[in-house]
Amino acid sequence: MAEATRQADRLRRDAEDAATEVDRLQRSPLAGVTARIQRMLQMAEDEAAELRAAAEQEASSLRDSARAEADQQLAETRQLCERLEAESANRRRADDAESAGRRHRAEQQSEQDIARRQTETQDWVSDYQTRSIAALHALMQIAGERLSNRVVKVKRQVTAAKALRSEVTGQLSVVQRLLAEALGVVDQPTPAEQAERAEQAERAEQAERAEQAEQVDQAEHVEQPVDAAEPSDDAPSPQLGEAPADPTVPLRREQVGWTGRPQRADQPTARFGLHP
């Protein structure tokens, strides 16, 4: 369009120059050339009109082309904007999906961690219970062994006491028989009868004490620690001439005297003021 404008300006200047030249020629004495100049002027005007029409047509074509190009660029720009918006929406949806995936994975990881910690805690509790039960069984076994050892020890002491009592009873029978023969004591219970009566009373008392001891041992096994101290052998021994508090404890030599016989107040020697 600028080129057409320049051409129109150039043609306009040519026409003005031609008109100036015609005017000069008309004033000159050469009037015969008027017709030819007029024809030249007409030709110049026709050419100018053609150039103007061509310029206008070219300008119109340029305007249409520019408008079409502008419309095309506008359409392309709109398409680009739509594509960018679509890409932005897709990217936003992808980001949302990725965020949701990360959140879901984080939740799953958290649930797995919680489940793992719960499992570890349950395993620890189960292992602790197992070890506690095993330790309790071991303590019960140790307590049972100690109780068995105590029972064996008591049985041995009872056996020794019975043997000593039999020996002492035999010696007392001999002494009482000799005293009865020497002093003429009659209607007195024999040592065998006295021993039998004492044995029956001691059996009843031992059965009662054994039952009480068993109950006490069971209570100690449940309530007291397993490693409770055994009865000390350093306990004070009975004085000379005194019977032991526990009938299951064997008599010592100090208690039976130098003859190996226990001192009893109901013996004939004590009754008559005699001493062996």
Domain boundaries, the chain: 2-101, 142-225+248-271
pLDDT of amino acid 111:
92
Q: 139: which residues sit within 8 A by CB, 6+ positions away?
A: 226
pLDDT of amino acid 268:
41
Contact (Cβ atoms closer than 8 angstroms) between residue 176 and residue 191: yes
For 122-132, how does the pLDDT look when each residue is reduced to its tens digit (9 = 90+)? 999 999 999 99
* Helix (H) or strand (E) segment spanning residue 167: helix 34-183
What is the value of pTM for the model shown? 0.29
Contact (Cβ atoms closer than 8 angstroms) between residue 192 and residue 166: no
CA distance from start to end of the chain: 167
Choice among 132-136, 187-191, 260-264 with the minimum mean pLDDT: 260-264
Q: Mean of the pLDDT values across residues 73-87?
A: 91
Q: Which residue has the tokens 């109901």?
A: 266
- Residue 199 to residue 188: CA distance in whole angstroms: 18
**Residue 84 in tokens:** 């960018």
Contact (Cβ atoms closer than 8 angstroms) between residue 8 and residue 55: yes
Q: Provide the sign of the torsion angle of the four alpha carbons 214, 216, 222, 226, taken in this order.
A: negative
Q: How much is the mean pLDDT over the chain?
A: 73
Choose between 265 and 54: higher pLDDT.
54
Q: Mean of the pLDDT values across residues 87-95?
A: 90
